[in-house]
Chain A
Amino acid sequence: MTEEDEMEFNYNEVVAKVADCLVRAGSTFRQDKKNAYKCAIANEELERAKWNLETILDNAEVAEHDRSPLCDDTGIPHVFVEVGPNRCLTGAMMTAIQDGVRQGLIDLPGRPMAIMGDDAGRIDMSGGISPNSEDLALAPFLVKEVEEDVLRVHILMLGGGPAIRGITHRIFHKHNLQVVLDEIVARAKDGTRLLGCTPCALAVGVGRSQFEATSMMMEAMVYGDFSKQNEMEKYITEKVNESGVGPLGLKGKTTVLATFMKVGPQRASGVRVVAIRPGCCFEPRHASVEL
């Protein structure tokens, strides 16, 4: 690190802040999520559905108190950075953020699930699993310029179950919004039925390419608020809930707690690329910190 970089930020402070942010992401329900659970409990008629939701909420209280993992699949760390007009994200700072993620994985602790080896060995796991939580590499950074003059790091911990049931695929819209919404609902119904860890926070991104759609989906998870739902989000939630999959897939009214949808720029063509992630009952495991 150069002297100039050192003058721009305090490395130890960034590492500590990011580590704390990761622990909060992996162990804490935000208040809007707690409120959504309480509403769902009140709304459920089936006794076991209520019990499932109450158990998940109890677990969140214990995890928050102990600063311990909500789920043993502590997730793959994803970092989303907001950069204001007069703020700077340097390579040195990105390194400090990565080091903060490593420290956070030690502190949480994260599940040791980094696969070692070369390309082939990492695919078939013949390279083995590292015993160290902190060896889990974070996903590529996403960076977004914002109007607020801030440098804010968001951490999302993405679990394996929703990755199995997520899908990024094209939809031919036929110049009709309803066609796209109904296809999202159909795909979400399939995903949530097999997910097991419902109720779901459904994340949806619509873009012009697979990359853009997935980026939009990530942004939807970063900015999503359980208490603020637009008409499209409400429609998707209501329609998927008609499936009756319910908490833990054991029937009930609450298959989806909320939908977080971000629509990006669109292509002048008949296709929309749509990324859907049926987040589990703990997702989005998200926290943020200003640097």
Chain B
Amino acid sequence: MEIRTITAPFTDEVLSSLKAGDIVNVSGTIYAGRDAVLPRLVKKIEDGTFAETGIDLQGGVIFHTAVSRAGVGPTSSNKAELEGTMPQLTAAGIRMFLGKGELKKETIEMFDKYNAVYAVIAPVTALLNSKVLSQKCLFAPELGMEAFYELKVDGFPCIIAAAHGEILK
């Protein structure tokens, strides 16, 4: 089985080459956030104050996870606070969401407009922990494990579940 390694943040060329069903290792710099913090970031995008955060979303990846001493692992991406913030975060530059669970058809169609993709990552915390090289809190540290983090990772195993309007069948 062929497993490609792709490095975030992604270029349009890399994103265009991804197909639903591809198994990839994601390396590089990614972001981590979930229910509590992503709606806050979207509010800052909407009220025009996002630049204050100093966060660069272009070509970026958001992994729907908490970051705690227990490690990282995907939470359900179809929760209202997560799937509901995908349109604004994608419009602002994010090109891959890492999570789990089925998304709505309209979300998949929205991704296609931006050449963005959805990848499913197994909740394999013990394995993932060995692939996190560093972590840094970037926004809302008062939220503890639910704050917005930057992670440097080496080879998170994922499956592309939706790309270019196609859903894994």
Contacts and interface: CB of A to CB of B under 8 A. Distances in A.
A59 B127 contact: yes
A113 interface: yes
Contacts of A70: 125-126
Given A66-B126, A112-B144, A250-B161, A72 B168 contact: no
Interface string A37-58: 0000000000110011001101
B122 A248 contact: yes
A65 to B, nearest CB: 9
Contact of B127 (A58, A73, A128): A58
A196 B145 contact: no
Nearest to A60: B126
B100 A249 contact: yes
Nearest to B125: A72
A129 B145 contact: yes
Q: How large is the interface on B (under 10, 10 to 19, 20 to 34, 35 or more residues)?
A: 35 or more
A109 interface: yes
B145 A51 contact: no
B51 interface: no
B145 to A, nearest CB: 6
Interface residues of A, number: 46
B37 interface: no
A111 B144 CA distance: 11
Contacts of A48: 21, 23, 159
B169 to A, nearest CB: 7
A213 B142 CA distance: 39
Contacts, number: 125
Contact of A72 (B65, B157, B159, B161): B65
Contact of A249 (B36, B79, B101, B142): B101
Interface in B89-148: 99-102, 120, 122-127, 129-130, 142-146
Interface centre among A60, A69, A133, A195 (most CB of B within 10 A): A69
Contacts of B70: 69, 72-74, 108-112, 133
Contacts of A73: 66, 70, 73, 75, 123
A97 to B, nearest CB: 22
Contacts of B142: 128
A248 B157 contact: no
A69 B101 contact: no
A87 B7 CA distance: 59
A194 interface: yes
Given A55-B122, A62-B127, A161 B76 contact: yes
Given A73-B73, A249-B101, 8 more contacts: A48-B21, A51-B23, A72-B71, A109-B70, A133-B69, A194-B102, A196-B76, A249-B100
Interface of A: 27, 47-48, 51-52, 55-56, 58-60, 62-63, 66, 68-74, 108-113, 125, 128-129, 131, 133, 160-161, 164, 193-197, 248-251, 280-282
